[in-house]
Amino acid sequence: MYVPKESQQKQGSQGASGRPRDGKRKMVAQNKKARHDYAIIDTYEAGLVLTGTEVKSLRQGRASLADGFVQIDGGEAWLHNAHIPEYSQGTWTNHTVRRKRKLLLHREEIDKLASKSEETGHTIVPLALYFKDGRAKAEIALARGKKEYDKRQTLREKQDRRESDRAIAAAKRRQRGQ
C-alpha cells in the first residue's frame, strides 16, 4: 500500500510503546514554596533513576517536594528528601520513602551547577516532578534565597496585579452591559 511521504511519520517520533510522542507533561508534584522562598536563576530538566514501585507510586500522582534539595556529590547530582510514598500494592520490594535519588544530567550541566552552587547564597532546588513521553523527569533550578522583604515585595506585586486585572475585567463587563 502506498502512503504519501507527507503523511508518513518521521523516524524516531514514536516512543518505545509505538505510540506517537506528543511531548506533553503529566504533572505529579510541584514545589510552590520554592518559587516563594527563592529567586530562580536558571532551570534544568533532569531524568530520575527510580525503582519500579517508585514509578508506580508517582503514576498514582503521589509525591511531595516540600523539603527536597539537590546536592552534587562526586560529579553526580542527587535529589534528597523528596517524599515518594510507598506503593500501596507493593510487597517487601517496596522502596524507602525519602531515599536519595540520582538525577540524570549532562556533564556540562552538572559542572555548571556545581560551580554556581558553591557560591554563597546559591542552592539547587527541585521545582516539579512530571512524566514526559512516559519517563519521569524533575525540573530543578539554580536559585538564590530571598530575604524577608523580597518575599513581601513579591507578594505585594502579585496582589496589585490581581487587583488591577479584576478592575479591568469589571470595567469591560460594565462596558458590554451598556
Instruction: Kindly give the confidence (pLDDT) of every residue in the chain, 178 residues in length, as a single tens digit, with 9 standing for 90 and above.
Output: 555 555 545 544 554 554 545 667 788 888 888 887 888 888 899 898 888 888 888 888 878 888 888 888 888 889 888 888 877 776 677 766 677 888 899 999 999 888 888 877 788 899 988 988 888 888 988 888 877 777 788 888 889 999 999 999 999 888 887 6
Say if residues 82 and 65 touch (Cβ distance below 8 Å). Answer: yes
Q: How far apart are CA 119 and CA 122, in angstroms?
A: 6
Torsion on CA atoms 122, 124, 128, 132, rounded to nearest 10: 130
Collapsed DSSP state (helix, strand, coil) of residue 126:
strand
User: Which residues, at least 6 apart from 146, have a Cβ–Cβ distance to it below 8 Å?
Assistant: 36, 37, 38, 39, 154
Would you state the pLDDT for residue 30? 86
Q: What are phi and psi of 134, to 5 degrees?
A: 80, 5
Length of the chain, in residues: 178
Q: Where are the alpha helices (DSSP H) in the chain?
A: 32-37, 52-59, 107-117, 148-177
Q: Do residues 134 and 17 lie in contact, with contact meaning Cβ atoms separated by under 8 Å?
A: yes
pLDDT value at residue 100: 85
- Reduce the DSSP state of residue 37 to 3 states and report it: helix
Residue 18: its pLDDT value, please? 47
Q: Strand locations in 34-100, DSSP E?
A: 38-48, 69-73, 76-80
pLDDT of residue 118: 83
Q: Which contiguous run of DSSP H or E holds residue 142?
A: strand 135-145
* Number of Cβ atoms within 10 Å of the Cβ of 116: 16
Predicted local distance difference test score (pLDDT) of residue 23: 65
